[in-house]
Structure 1
Amino acid sequence: MSALQKRRHVTLEQAQAALPEQGLRFVSMLTHGSLLVEYYAPRGKDLQTPHTRDEIYVVMEGRGWFVNGEERHTFGPGDVIFVPAGVVHRFEDFTDDLGVWVIFYGPEGGEAS
């Protein structure tokens, strides 16, 4: 069992400290079954591509715009955003302090509606 599988509690401070300084700024923090929790803090531009599983973002810090398929809306701290598997999405025009929990779950291809 890996350290990520053993972990049952993680703090925002631990996630922020574990982020790489350069490159794609995300870090996996815990996993269990199909669940994967990461912390993501892009800087400048969000270069994400669609993911193969459903995901939820919980905005911890920062503000901006979020593209979710055909929709585009503002976001800020405390917001929760759902993105179905395979949908084009990205953060745009966001502040330099953007940081979000990313929760992936379910089967490849996403859950049925």
Structure 2
Amino acid sequence: MRAFRLDQLELERAANDGAYLRFLRERSMSVGLYALAAGQQDPQRPQLQDVVFFVVSGRASLTVGHETTVVARGSVVFVPGGVPRRFHHITEDLRVMVVFSPPEG
């Protein structure tokens, strides 16, 4: 078993000066913490993997393909691989747990 604490992951992500911290990679999936500040632009591009976003904190709009929804703490969104997606209109600092299958990178 491997266990993680969100506060420690956030410290590690911030210490590495990155918006994304991959903290788990296994044969069938990888998991990371993604952070965007209020008002920030989301630079992500479509990827081949399926992805699940779990919003840990914050508030934003998320556009997946041609659909847009508002996400906030507790939101869970599945995005099929290859479909364009981006967070925008980020009104509260956003922290998102991201699960890729198969693993990214």
TM-score by length of 1: 0.81
Q: Which amino acid in 1 is paired with 2:54? A: V
1:81-104 deviation line (CA, Å, top 9, x unaligned): 111100000001013420000000
The answer on 1:11 being equivalent to 2:5 is yes
Unmatched segments (≥5 aa) in structure 1: 1-6, 109-113
More strand by share: 2
Bigger relative contact order (CA 8 A; separation at least 6):
2
Shift, 1:106, TM fit: 3.0
Q: Distance in 1 between matches of 2:19 and 2:68?
A: 23
Residue identity in the other structure for 2:25: T
- 2:66 alignment partner in structure 1: 70
Whether the 8 Å CA contact 1:39–1:99 is kept in 2: the answer is: yes
Assess if the C-alpha contact under 8 Å between 1:38 and 1:101 holds in 2: yes
- The answer to whether structure 1 residue 106 and structure 2 residue 102 are counterparts is yes
Contact 1:27 1:40 in 2 (8 A): yes
Identity %, equivalent residues: 33
Moved over 4 A (4+): 21-24
Structure 2 length as normaliser, TM-score? 0.87
Aligned pairs, number? 102
Q: State the structure with more CA Rg.
A: 1
* Structure 2: distance between partners of 1:20 and 1:107: 22
Q: Deviations over 1:61-87 (max 9, x none)?
A: 011110011100111100101111000
